Chain A
């Protein structure tokens, strides 16, 4: 059986041994993920599981990948991308240079969605997109711009609902079951490892996107990360969160103005 003591033991050991800090993760979801990966391993005891993590770094990498959620899609929540296209990007278009940060970008689908929008709005050449995640493995995937071909039907439908006018297949070449996205898109992307829990701000941005990442954090950690974003946003910059996330009731709320009823906030202070 797996219980809360095991969970605590895991959190303590992995912090002491590798410096990964999961203490601020939301209990319910983290417990479910850890229990799942533990049971898949068919261990005799939890101690054996911990020993394996400490003695085998490949296994550690695998465990981290499994307990952090890496589900994403292109143009997820098309209505959000429509607002980006029609409202947010136009208001950034007069800037000489546009800096964007996708925090917790996972395998990069949203990063490519952003690059497509920027290109269609004629802004890609003066933009740079920083894409960061805790997992090195998912970043490698993003750098390559390779996504399963079978997902393209769903992605192109999302693209269309998000106001896309082109034939979505113009953006990739089909190759052995994968869609390889145009390198013209990825040349404006910088993928790098960054841990929202322990790393600090590394630049100033005009737009920060962190969608469905902080849902895995508890309130205190959410607040800390929001302060990190706040200190990384240029005046009048934008912060975009997931469809069921909110800045209300957080300590940075007073510095922001919501863009209509969308999950996008403009920094006004």
Chain B
């Protein structure tokens, strides 16, 4: 199996969110003028039926290159990828996505933990993981995996979250590198681009 394959120098930002996180993304993404040198991957708990509505909305509001993911889609710089509804999203060492319809994790598919753990495995120190608003335990284990592999862990400050349960749960269980407001998240990502 492929291991230690192409290791590009790309910085990757993976963002996980549930209830109340879409508002944050609609606030953050439009402020990023250019993400040419990085990749953003979004793992959002979403309805099974909404198909491509979310991608369209994010594309329209942000002006960024928002891409749907199909099985084995290759990861390219300058793009925002959105995990499809009803699949777990995993990342391969050759920098492509793969999908998985196995059991839900934390009552969720896609599960933030599953994608964060997989991204941590592949991108290691080049990964920044951000956990946003939500009413679920999902994401905490994933952030721990990111931390263990040397990535950067950011949690949305609970007082700015619509539904603070998910960020609070993570803060209780691990030490984040940063706890940031949405405005500070924008600044952080913008610095990564440079």
Contacts and interface: CB of A to CB of B under 8 A. Distances in A.
Interface in A56-89: 69, 71
B92 A215 contact: no
Contacts of A30: 1
Interface residues of B, number: 25
Contacts of B114: 32
B187 to A, nearest CB: 32
A28 B98 contact: yes
B72 interface: yes
Instruction: Identify which of B70, B71, B90, B103 gathers the most chain A CB atoms within 10 Å of its CB.
Output: B71
B3 interface: yes
Interface of B, helix, strand, loop or mixed by DSSP: loop
B3 A29 contact: no
B91 A244 contact: no
B69 to A, nearest CB: 7
Nearest to A241: B71
A28 B121 contact: yes
Nearest to B90: A28
Contact of B98 (A8, A215, A242): A215
Given A28-B91, A29-B90, A29-B100, A7 B72 contact: no
Contact of B84 (A7, A33, A222, A244): A244
Nearest to B69: A244
A12 B100 CA distance: 23
A69 B102 contact: yes
Interface string A1-18: 000100110010000000
A214 B2 CA distance: 17
A114 B72 CA distance: 28
Nearest to B4: A4
Interface string B1-13: 1110000000000
Interface in B86-121: 87-88, 90-93, 98-103, 114, 117-118, 121
Interface of A, helix, strand, loop or mixed by DSSP: helix
Given A219-B72, A244-B71, A246-B70, A32 B118 contact: yes
Contact of B70 (A8, A23, A28, A245): A245
Contacts of A69: 100-102
B82 to A, nearest CB: 12
A215 B92 CA distance: 12
Instruction: Identify which of B100, B114, B117 gathers the most chain A CB atoms within 10 Å of its CB.
Output: B100
Interface residues of A, number: 28
Given A28-B118, A244-B69, A33 B98 contact: no
A71 B103 contact: yes
B74 to A, nearest CB: 10
Interface of B: 1-3, 69-72, 84, 87-88, 90-93, 98-103, 114, 117-118, 121-122
5 contacts: A11-B1, A26-B98, A28-B121, A32-B90, A246-B71
Interface of A: 4, 7-8, 11, 23, 25-33, 69, 71, 212, 214-216, 218-219, 222, 242-246
Given A28-B98, A29-B90, A246-B70, 11 more contacts: A4-B1, A7-B1, A26-B92, A26-B98, A31-B121, A32-B117, A69-B101, A69-B102, A218-B1, A242-B101, A243-B84
The 10 closest A-B pairs by CB, nearest first: A28-B90, A69-B102, A29-B100, A26-B98, A215-B71, A27-B1, A215-B99, A244-B70, A212-B101, A28-B118
